């Protein structure tokens, strides 16, 4: 004889009362949010692995441009800023790299020197004197 007869199954009884449309819609929303987080994590890991596997390069270049990207800052949250510098090599190819704020302030457009980088990771810029 079933001893659970007439007893509530708690959460699962609530799911039985929800229309099928809302179950499907809720499942899709959950899958999209979970998939988005998974995509961001995988993309970050592949970039990190790619940068670590890349050869450490040192090339002569010129600073062509600097830019900032400000994000956030609505309501009670604070704004965040990303800093990027575009370098042009002697063969006219260019690369834009993320740099820390301290490095961004020390490098000016028109500077020439030796850039050390690994994949898409900025390492160092030694300005010509």
| Separation CA 105–CA 55 (nearest Å) | 27
Looking at residue 5, its pLDDT comes to 58
Q: Output the pLDDT for position 60.
A: 96
Whether residues 64 and 48 share a domain: the answer is no
Q: How far apart are the first and last CA of the chain?
A: 91
Name the most confidently modeled range: 20-24, 50-54, 73-77. Answer: 50-54
Question: pTM for this one?
Answer: 0.70
Question: Residue 114 CB: number of other CB atoms within 10 A?
Answer: 13
1 or 100: which leads in pLDDT: 100
> Is 28 within the bounds of a domain?
yes
Q: Residue 109: what pLDDT?
A: 97
Q: How many domains does the chain have?
A: 2
Same-domain status, 44 and 65: no
Domain range for residue 22? 11-52
91 assigned to some structural domain: yes
37, pLDDT greater than 70: yes
Q: Are residues 70 and 16 in the same domain?
A: no
CATH number at residue 105: 2.40.50.660
Same domain assignment for residues 85 and 31: no
For the chain, give the mean pLDDT: 89
pLDDT tier, 26 (very low <50, low <70, confident <90, very high otherwise): confident
Same domain, 35 and 93: no
Asked if residues 29 and 37 have their Cβ atoms less than 8 Å apart, the reply is: no
**How do residues 59-118 score in pLDDT, each as one tens digit?**
999 999 999 999 988 888 899 999 999 999 999 999 999 999 999 999 999 999 999 999
């Amino acid at each position: 004889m079933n001893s659970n007869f007439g007893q509530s199954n708690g959460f699962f009884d609530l799911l039985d009362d929800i229309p099928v449309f809302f179950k499907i819609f809720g499942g899709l929303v959950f899958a999209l949010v979970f998939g988005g987080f998974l995509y961001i994590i995988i993309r970050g890991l592949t970039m990190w692995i790619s940068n670590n596997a890349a050869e450490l390069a040192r090339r002569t270049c010129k600073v062509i441009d600097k830019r900032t990207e400000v994000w956030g800052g609505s309501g009670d949250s604070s704004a965040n800023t990303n800093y990027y510098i575009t370098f042009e090599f002697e063969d006219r190819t260019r690369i834009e790299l993320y740099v820390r704020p301290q490095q961004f302030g020390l490098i000016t457009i028109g500077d020439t020197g030796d850039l050390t980088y690994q994949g898409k990771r900025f390492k160092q810029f030694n300005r010509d004197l």
